[in-house]
Amino acid sequence: MHRASVSKNMQVTPEQAWDALNDFGGIHKYHPLINTSPIVNGKSSGLGAERVCNFHDGNEIKERIVDYTENQGYSVDIIDPGKFPLKSAVAHITITPASDNTTDISFAMEFQPKFGPIGWAMGKLIMEKQFEKILGNVVDNMEAVIINENNKLAEAI
């Protein structure tokens, strides 16, 4: 099993971070590679919620929340990796209040590539680094989107 992870202290409140994460169908708002992410089973958050992530390049994956702790985080199983070279993958996202106005976020992914020993080498040499880069971009974009939305709300008041 391979692993990629990032952690960051975001300049947003724990409530703001949780609101963004708990909108399970809203990952397309801050994931730079995803175009849309509709909920497919009528459950928009919590244990068992499912979404399809439609990527800008035409690929898609189907995901399900398999572990969920309110206001703290959840784990997402990629139940159908589509055309991606993955045999299995689970992402773990957690938030921890760092102060009233900042939040520590951790985003980790464990995955097993397809293609046996060749896939293992591909995972070690390429995919781990690529997933860390993507996870870092997701976390950075999430923070930027939350800050931007709050600035718009403040201007409207």
Enter the pTM of the model. Answer: 0.93
Q: What is the CATH number of the domain that holds 59?
A: 3.30.530.20
The count of structural domains within the chain is 1
- Rounded distance between C-alpha atoms, residue 86 and residue 75, angstroms: 17
Which residue, among 3, 49, 4, 6, has the nearest Cα to 141 in the 3D structure? 6
Q: Are 108 and 131 in contact (CB under 8 A)?
A: no
Domain hosting 113: range is: 2-156
- Rounded distance between C-alpha atoms, residue 91 and residue 94, angstroms: 10
What confidence tens digit (pLDDT) does each residue in 25-41 have?
999 999 999 999 999 99
pLDDT of residue 28: 97
What confidence tens digit (pLDDT) does each residue in 55-106 have?
999 999 999 999 999 999 999 999 999 999 999 999 999 999 999 999 999 9
Residue 153: pLDDT over 70: no
Q: How confident is the model at residue 157 (pLDDT cuts 50, 70, 90)?
A: low
Mean pLDDT, residues 15-22:
96
Q: Write the CA distances from 149 to 66, 98, 102, 144, 156, integer angstroms.
A: 29, 21, 16, 9, 11
